[in-house]
Amino acid sequence: MEDLTHEEWSEQLAKDKKAVIIDVRTDEEVADGIIPNAIHIDIYRGQDFIDALEELDKSKNYYVYCRSGNRSGQACRIMEELGFKHAYNLEGGILEWQGDIVDID
C-alpha cells in the first residue's frame, strides 16, 4: 500500500492504463457524489466487502478513497492481505479531492 497526496494520486491515475478506482464509503456518503468511474464497495459491509474484493482482478492497480483517508487505508491493507500488489490510498480522502465528482446513478 502506498499513501498518495491528491496531486500524486491524480497524476499516477491519469497515466495508469490498469487503474481501477474504489470508493469504500457508506451509501449515505456516496449519495453526495463519487469520483467518476469509481466502483463503490462499502468497507462496513464486512464479509461482503471481502467477497467483493476477491472478485476483482489482482493484476490491476487500485486507487482507493473514502471520506478522509482512514477507511481507505484500512481497505488497502486488507487488499494487500488478499494478495493485491498495487493499492494506493488517497491521503485526506474525498475531502482533499480537487477533481470532478459526479452523482451516482
Alpha helices by DSSP H, 32-105: 47-54, 70-81, 93-96
Query: Is 76 an annotated catalytic residue?
Result: no
What is the reported pLDDT for 103?
Answer: 87
**What are the boundaries of each domain within the chain?**
2-96
Distance CA 6, CA 17 (A): 19
What is the reported pLDDT for 25?
Answer: 97
At 105, the amino acid letter reads D
What is the reported pLDDT for 99?
Answer: 87
Using 70 as the pLDDT threshold, list the residues of the chain that sit under it.
105
Distance CA 47, CA 60 (A): 22
Angle at 15 between CA 5 and CA 53, to 5 degrees: 70
Architecture of the domain whose range is 2-96: 3-Layer(aba) Sandwich (3.40)
The kind and range of the H/E element at 20 are: strand 19-23
In the numeric block, the cell 488478499 is attached to: 82
What is the reported pLDDT for 1?
Answer: 86
Distance CA 79, CA 76 (A): 5
* Residue of 66, 78, 79, 90 with catalytic role: 66
